[in-house]
Amino acid sequence: MRLEALKQPLRQPWRLMLAVNVAVMIGVFLYKTRSSPYVPYLHLLVDYHFGFTKRALIGALVGLFTTKVPMWLVFAVGGLIWLITLALFLRLFHKVFSFHDKQLPLLVFMVGSPFFFKNFLHSLGHFDIYGCAVAICLLLVPAHSILFVLLAALLSGVLILIHHIHILMYVPTIAVIVLVRHHLVEGAARGCMVVEALAAIALAALFIAVQFWGTMQVPPEQFASYLQTKMENPSDLATLSFSFIWYQPLSKEISDTWARLPWNLWGVPAFALLIWLHAPLWRYFAESIRALREVWHRRIIVAALIAVTMGYLVMFVIIFDYSRWVANWAVCMFLILHAVKMLPVARAVPPIPGDDEMTQKLGWIATVIPRVGITRPF
């Protein structure tokens, strides 16, 4: 009887993959807590003390609760938003797909993907996950009225204040979610489209203000001195060495990216391989689009996917954190799939075949890969 119980997980490999993923996530978190998160720590120190400043909203909020910021707060805040985002995603997956055994392969390829929660643990303290959390919330809340559009615009503005890179990283996906959940389902009212146009203009203006007027205006020595007053360990000069980020203009970021391009391009085959490992999911996504009842819905979804991807290509030109961009692009695809499944269909789409040998192998490979990385693969 006991032997039979031990064999049971082997007959349910997808459940075992989920268990292994949990173990891998714990390992990634423990490994991460042994590192010194210099830039994420600065993000908790910088606020609006010297006026309107980019990347300062989270630091300003932290400053409301404490005057001295310990390093461990990076892991506490980052871990909390990670747990909240995971809970939101599981709620979304259950709402759209359910946790039936036949949907476990899809769950493994999403929640167990090295692009998703494992990589969010590796980049703990960075602001990417906030965009993901907002997008998931907008997939969960009711989308029947113009209030949904206003909420999406407001949260997009908050994301830009958290980090202006969200204008390309998650705001386009949020726009797709609004398009799918509100317009393709509820229709396009003229008043709503006017509100959306005004919101788009306001978000563009906010991004321009953050990008070009959010640079630190005081001398670097004064800025560093102020940050030291908020640090629990003011002698930690390694952290302060990254404060140049708040002085760096867009032109310098682009030139640095192009200078590193030959070295970073070697990672492209690795990214392509990681994307290919999710082939069963991509096939399911493509079939879900083809199964949509309305032809024009299919065309709009394809155009939206291209638009989101183009935004990430622009990011590749500007900033060299390529692993983060590829990982977040995949996350955006996962979330848009959930939005697509909310549209009317002409036929049912068969789930990913869990008993297929090749699919199981790909699932195991994706499971044991702990992360994609931040700049270069792994």
pLDDT in tens, 255-303: 989 988 888 888 899 999 999 999 999 999 999 999 999 999 999 999 9
pLDDT higher than 90, residue 8: no
Task: Report the largest interatomic distance among the alpha carbons of the chain, rounded to a whole angstrom.
Answer: 73
Kindly tell me the sign of the dihedral angle through the C-alpha atoms of 128, 131, 117, 323: negative
Q: What is the mean pLDDT of residues 360-372?
A: 96
Tokens at residue 184, please? 């393709």
Q: Which of 42, 60, 55, 41 is nearest to 207 (CA)?
A: 55
pLDDT value, residue 370: 94
Task: Give the chain's mean pLDDT.
Answer: 92
- Tell me the C-alpha distance between 160 and 282, whole Å: 30
pLDDT higher than 90, residue 366: yes
pLDDT higher than 90, residue 188: no
Tokens 């259950």 correspond to what residue? 94
Angle at 17 between CA 15 and CA 22, to 5 degrees: 100
Computed over its alpha carbons, how large is the radius of gyration of the chain? 22
Task: Tell me the per-residue pLDDT of 334-348, one tens digit each, with 9 for 90 and over.
Answer: 999 999 999 999 999
Kindly tell me the sign of the dihedral angle through the C-alpha atoms of 29, 33, 39, 43: positive
DSSP string of 306-346? HHHHHHHHHHHHH---HHHHHHHHHHHHHHHHHHHTTS-BS
- Tell me the C-alpha distance between 354 and 359, whole Å: 7
pLDDT higher than 60, residue 5: no
Partners of 231 in beta bridges: 69
Q: Say if residues 52 and 218 touch (Cβ distance below 8 Å).
A: no
Tokens 């423990």 correspond to what residue? 30
Phi-psi region of 343 (alpha: psi -120 to 50; beta: other; left: phi over 0): beta
pLDDT band at 1 (very low <50, low <70, confident <90, very high): very low
pLDDT value, residue 3: 47
- Tell me the C-alpha distance between 259 and 244, whole Å: 18
- Tell me the C-alpha distance between 268 and 273, whole Å: 9
Environment class of 361 (CB within 10 Å of its CB; exposed 0-12, middle 13-18, buried 19+)? exposed
Query: Distance between alpha carbon 243 and the CA centroid of its chain, in Å?
Result: 24
Percentage of the chain beyond pLDDT 70 is 96
pLDDT higher than 50, residue 168: yes
Q: Say if residues 289 and 342 touch (Cβ distance below 8 Å).
A: no
Per DSSP, 350 falls in state P
Greatest mean pLDDT among 124-128, 137-141, 254-258, 268-272 lies in 137-141
